[in-house]
Chain A
């Protein structure tokens, strides 16, 4: 049984394009090393699953679940993340112009855009250990908006639409911000791709790995 293997998606911008918010060095390591490792380990786990399925080896199949979750989650999360970032000052970063539906829904839910940014940032800074912060649309497109955090590489639950995500693993910011993660969180808003967020909010995401 041949299985389709996953591969590292190219970034939609150059490694240095997110500077000064995220350095070229961080982006290179994060994409070429960290994300690539999740892809490699996911492929290995899926191949082992095929073998175990053929051998009808249930114990091995069960032991592979966590590897698939962690590495598959890492692949999905990073794929979503790259796509929901954009170089500062690009039209996609202008929430007023490119995200009319999402902007209104956010204002309705949190009172104002600033109120939302404050609440989301507080969630990010409250994470204990490695994980992600997400804006999700509950139960499909144009659903109730919620801020959720997921630990380690857990992905957003399947029924919800990940409108955008922010990586709060230390490898996402440490070389540049060290222990000042508030500085990283402040910077993220300058490179958020609101056009991509609007698209996900209004239309959903059919396949998280084929954005």
Chain B
């Protein structure tokens, strides 16, 4: 566990003196050793009517930014604990790193797998990903039904993901609690945020309507790249 924490700290610091760079899949922006809030590739209002501009603005500028800030704070504390060789303090930081680092990863992936209709949002996947979805679920519509059932079944806060199993190459739908990130055996392809803050201002308790509307703004091109 300590080694794991140490490596995540190193990853967070890897950028060294470079001002900022973008990593591959997750598009995480890291500047001067700190995680930073990535810019969206579209305007806050561009996903309307599926997701309101107000939701997008608060979700990005406030919620996502808070995960970034708290992740950086946790990593700073981790470095201090490592400098003092304080193993119990390092382990105690694990939930904060998982939650806030997970929140940063998840939202960064989420923004990328969304797109306004004018930029291809909602256009069905093609190529090998489309084949994998048809082969696994029968059709894209059947996949969406299964995914929405998974989203609706989340008890509390969490995410649903289309993932690729790194061992078998198979795709599957998995749900994760709170901000638990997709790591380890599975590779995240497409994520949908099922926290109430992702839809409540527009849909209130009618979350099934949000789950239905989001397919209009899914960026399948980004999902194909991850696949």
- Which A residues contact B (CB, under 8 angstroms)? 29, 33-34, 37, 66, 70, 128-131, 151-153, 169-171, 174-175, 178-179
- Closest residue of chain A to B195 (Cβ to Cβ) is A170
Is B63 positioned at the interface, with any CB of A under 8 Å from its CB?
yes
Chain A residues in 8 Å Cβ range of B157? 129-130, 170
Q: How close is A48's CB to chain B, nearest CB, in angstroms?
A: 15
Apart from A129-B179, A130-B196, list 15 A-B contacts with CB within 8 A: A29-B204, A33-B205, A66-B155, A128-B95, A128-B179, A129-B156, A129-B158, A131-B156, A152-B156, A169-B156, A171-B200, A174-B201, A175-B204, A178-B201, A179-B63
The residue in chain B whose Cβ has the minimal distance to the Cβ of A67 is B155
21 contacts between A and B (CB under 8 A): A128-B99, A128-B179, A129-B177, A129-B195, A130-B157, A130-B196, A152-B156, A153-B155, A153-B156, A169-B156, A169-B196, A170-B195, A170-B196, A171-B196, A171-B204, A171-B205, A174-B200, A175-B200, A178-B58, A178-B201, A179-B197
Q: Which 9 interchain pairs have the tightest Cβ spacing?
A: A129-B178, A152-B156, A170-B196, A130-B156, A129-B157, A33-B205, A179-B62, A130-B157, A128-B99
By beta carbon, the residue of chain B nearest A33 is B205
* Interface flag for B66 (CB, 8 Å): yes
Q: Which of B181-227 contact A (CB under 8 A)?
A: 195-197, 200-201, 204-205
Instruction: Give chain B nearest CB distance to A18 CB in angstroms.
Output: 18
Q: A123 to nearest B CB, angstroms?
A: 14
Smallest Cβ-Cβ distance to B100: which chain A residue: A128
User: A174 to B195, alpha carbons, bound, how many Å?
Assistant: 11
Q: CB within 8 A of A128: which of B66, B178, B196, B205?
A: B178
Closest beta carbon of chain B to A25's beta carbon, Å:
9
- Do A170 and B205 have beta carbons less than 8 Å apart? no
* B residues lining the A interface (CB < 8 Å): 58, 62-63, 66, 95, 99, 155-158, 177-179, 195-197, 200-201, 204-205
A152/B179 in contact, CB under 8 A: no
CA distance A66 to B62 in the complex (A): 33
Bound complex: CA A70 to CA B152 (Å)? 14
Bound together, the chains give a CA A131 to CA B66 distance in angstroms of 19
B201 to chain A, nearest CB (A): 7
CA of A65 to CA of B196, assembled, Å: 24
Partner of A174, one of B156, B158, B179, B196: B196
Kindly state the separation between the CA atoms of A129 and B156 in the bound complex, as whole angstroms: 7
Residue contact B205 to A34, C-beta cutoff 8 Å: yes
Q: How far is the CB of B155 from chain A (nearest CB, A)?
A: 5
- When the two chains form the complex, which single residue of A33, A66, A70, A129 contacts B204, counting CB atoms closer than 8 Å? A33
Give chain A residues whose Cβ lies under 8 Å from the Cβ of B155. 66, 70, 152-153
In Å, the complex CA distance between A39 and B33 comes to 49
Minimum CB–CB distance from A186 to chain B (whole Å) comes to 18
